[in-house]
Amino acid sequence: MKRINDDIESRRPELDNLVKQKESSEINQEKEVKRLQSLDADVLSECRNIELIYNYLV
């Protein structure tokens, strides 16, 4: 049993690092989703502005 506990403890830093990487990845993914949603809204707004200008000129 001691050997198993020692093995677990020796791997704890590696496991902690993997958990941190996973959490960081999830945070980055959330930021990227928000960034893309904002970009989508900006593009839609600009598209509407272009359509208004086009319709004014036609």
The domain of 25 spans 1-58
Residue (of 7, 26, 25) closest to 15 by Cα position? 7
Per-residue pLDDT 10s for the chain (58 aa) are: 888 888 888 988 998 888 988 888 888 898 999 999 999 999 999 999 999 999 999 9
Q: Which residue type, as a one-letter code, is found at position 56?
A: Y
**How far is Cα 4 from Cα 10, in angstroms, rounded to an integer?**
10
**pTM, rounded to two decimals:** 0.61
Q: What pLDDT does residue 27 have?
A: 83
In the chain, the number of structural domains is 1
**How far is Cα 52 from Cα 57, in angstroms, rounded to an integer?**
9
